[in-house]
Chains A and B, each alone.
Chain A
Amino acid sequence: MTKFTTPAQLTDHVAKAKATRDPNKIRVSVCAGTGCKASGADALIAAFQAELEARKLDVEVLSTGCHGFCERGPLVVLHPSGVLYQKVKPKDVADILEKTVQKGELLPRLQYRDENRQIFEKEHDVPFYKHQERIVFAMNGHIDPRSIDDYFSMGGYEALGKVVGQMKPDQVVEEVIASGLRGRGGAGFPAGWKWRFTRQAEGDRKYLICNADEGDPGAFMDRSVLEGNPHLVLEGMIIGAYACGASEGFIYVRNEYPMAVRHIELAIAKATELGLLGQHILGTDFCFNVHVNRGGGAFVCGEETALIASIEGRRGSPRVRPPFPAQKGLWGKPTNINNVETWANVPTIINRGAAWFASTGTGDVSKSPLGGSKGTKIFSLVGKVNNTGLVEVPMGITLRKIVFDIGGGIKDSKKGRTFKAVQTGGPSGGCIPDAFLDHPVDFDELAKLGSMMGSGGMIVMDDRTCMVEVARYFVDFLKEESCGKCTPCREGLRAMSEILNRLVRGQGRHADLDLLEDLGRTMKTASLCQLGQTAANPVLSTLRYFRHEYVEHVDHARCPAGQCIDLIEYRINEQCTGCTICAKKCPTGAITGQNKERHVLDQSKCVRCGVCFDVCNFNGVSILSGPELAGKAKE
Chain B
Amino acid sequence: MDILINGKKVKTRKGEHVLEVARREGFDIPSLCHHAALTPDGACRLCLVEVEGPEGKNKVTTACTLEVSQGLSVRLDTPEVAANRKVVLEMLLSRVSDSPTLLKLADKYGLLEMRLVPQGEKCVLCGLCARVCTELVGAKALTMEGRGTETYFQPPFGEPAKDCVGCGSCAFVCPVSCIEYKKTDKTIEIWGRNFERLACTECGEPLDLTPEHRDLIRRRTDLLTPAEMQLCGGCERRTTMKTMQRVVEGQQTLETARR
B-binding residues in A (CB < 8 A):
298, 300, 315, 317, 319-320, 322, 478-488, 490-495, 498, 511, 515, 518-519, 521-522, 525-528
- Cα–Cα distance between A485 and B84 once the two chains are bound (Å): 18
Closest to B50 in A: A525
Considering only residues 148-183 of chain B, those with a C-beta below 8 Å from chain A are 148-151
Looking at B43, B80, B124, the one whose CB has the most chain A CB atoms below 10 A away is B43
- Cα–Cα distance between A461 and B62 once the two chains are bound (Å): 38
B84 to A522, Cβ gap below 8 A?
Answer: yes
Q: List 13 A-B contacts (CB under 8 A).
A: A320-B42, A484-B148, A484-B151, A485-B43, A485-B151, A486-B44, A488-B88, A494-B119, A511-B115, A521-B84, A522-B91, A526-B84, A528-B42
Sorted nearest first, the 4 A-B pairs with minimum C-beta distance are A484-B151, A491-B91, A522-B87, A320-B65
For A518, list chain B residues within 8 Å (CB).
87
- Cα–Cα distance between A256 and B190 once the two chains are bound (Å): 40
For A481, list chain B residues within 8 Å (CB).
147-148
Q: A421 → chain B, closest Cβ, in Å?
A: 26
A-binding residues in B (CB < 8 A):
40-46, 48, 60, 62, 65, 67, 80, 83-84, 87-88, 91-92, 94-95, 115-117, 119, 124-125, 127, 143-144, 146-151
B146 to A484, Cβ gap below 8 A?
Answer: yes
Q: B1 → chain A, closest Cβ, in Å?
A: 16
For A528, list chain B residues within 8 Å (CB).
42-43, 45, 62
For A485, list chain B residues within 8 Å (CB).
41, 43, 125, 127, 144, 151
Q: A320-B62, A488-B91, A525-B84 known; A483 and B149 CB under 8 Å?
A: no
- Cα–Cα distance between A519 and B117 once the two chains are bound (Å): 13
Partner of B148, one of A480, A495, A498: A480
Partner of A492, one of B91, B115, B117, B150: B91
- Cα–Cα distance between A485 and B151 once the two chains are bound (Å): 8
Looking at A479, A481, A487, A525, the one whose CB has the most chain B CB atoms below 10 A away is A487
- Cα–Cα distance between A527 and B91 once the two chains are bound (Å): 12
For B48, list chain A residues within 8 Å (CB).
526
- Cα–Cα distance between A493 and B91 once the two chains are bound (Å): 10
For B94, list chain A residues within 8 Å (CB).
491, 495
A490 to B151, Cβ gap below 8 A?
Answer: yes
Q: B66 → chain A, closest Cβ, in Å?
A: 9
A498 to B117, Cβ gap below 8 A?
Answer: yes
B116 to A495, Cβ gap below 8 A?
Answer: yes
- Cα–Cα distance between A528 and B94 once the two chains are bound (Å): 20
Q: A529 → chain B, closest Cβ, in Å?
A: 10
B60 to A515, Cβ gap below 8 A?
Answer: no
B148 to A526, Cβ gap below 8 A?
Answer: no
For B147, list chain A residues within 8 Å (CB).
298, 300, 480-484
Q: B26 → chain A, closest Cβ, in Å?
A: 25
Q: B134 → chain A, closest Cβ, in Å?
A: 11
Closest to B65 in A: A320
- Cα–Cα distance between A525 and B81 once the two chains are bound (Å): 10
For A491, list chain B residues within 8 Å (CB).
91-92, 94-95, 149
For B115, list chain A residues within 8 Å (CB).
511, 515
